[in-house]
Amino acid sequence: MFGHITAQTTTQPGGGIDFMTILLFVMLGIFIFMMFRRNKKTKDQQVTLQSQFAPGVEVMTSFGLFGRIVSMDDDENKVVLELSPGNLATVHRQAVTKIVEPAVAAEDEPTVVPDDASSLAAEETGTPSSETPDETLKRLNDEGKKDS
């Protein structure tokens, strides 16, 4: 009985394709499909970004320069950026990788700046600002006794 079972599980020379070979080809196909899909998405994003380029747009290059587009030459794929007033740089169109949105400052709450530094020190230490010098010495002596 056992001899019959082992005879069926042995592979025969010139036999068919086994499960692992099929699985290998399926995984390879999925990998290739995902690779092409990712390349297509990246290309579509780049085309969408470059369609938004126009003079006056704030951009960032792939090597970290920030500037405003002054002019574009579509024939030679060049973009002229104004880095600061009077400083121009010519870069390849594909080097411009990001459109920079201007930061909107929060104007809801005005910043309060105190006139003197005593109010800042009182907030940090948590001690009341109306403490007398004698009370301060007593508090500091008590804190010194706790440490030792």
* pTM for the model: 0.45
Q: Are residues 59 and 91 in the same domain?
A: yes
> Residue 2 in 3-state DSSP?
helix
Greater model confidence, 130 or 24 = 24
Q: Is residue 84 part of a domain?
A: yes
What rounded mean pLDDT belongs to the chain?
79
Q: Are residues 60 and 84 in the same domain?
A: yes
Tens-place pLDDT, residues 79-92: 999 998 889 999 99
Q: Are residues 62 and 30 in the same domain?
A: no
* Degrees to nearest 5, angle at CA 49 with 48 and 52: 95
* In the predicted structure, residue 116 carries a pLDDT above the cut 50: yes
Provide mean pLDDT across the span 67-79. Answer: 89
Tokens of 83: 């880095």
Q: Is residue 60 part of a domain?
A: yes
Tens-place pLDDT, residues 5-43: 554 555 555 566 788 999 999 999 999 999 999 999 988
Q: In which domain, by residue range, is 89 found?
A: 52-99
Nearest one of 53, 58, 101, 63 to 83, comparing CA atoms? 58
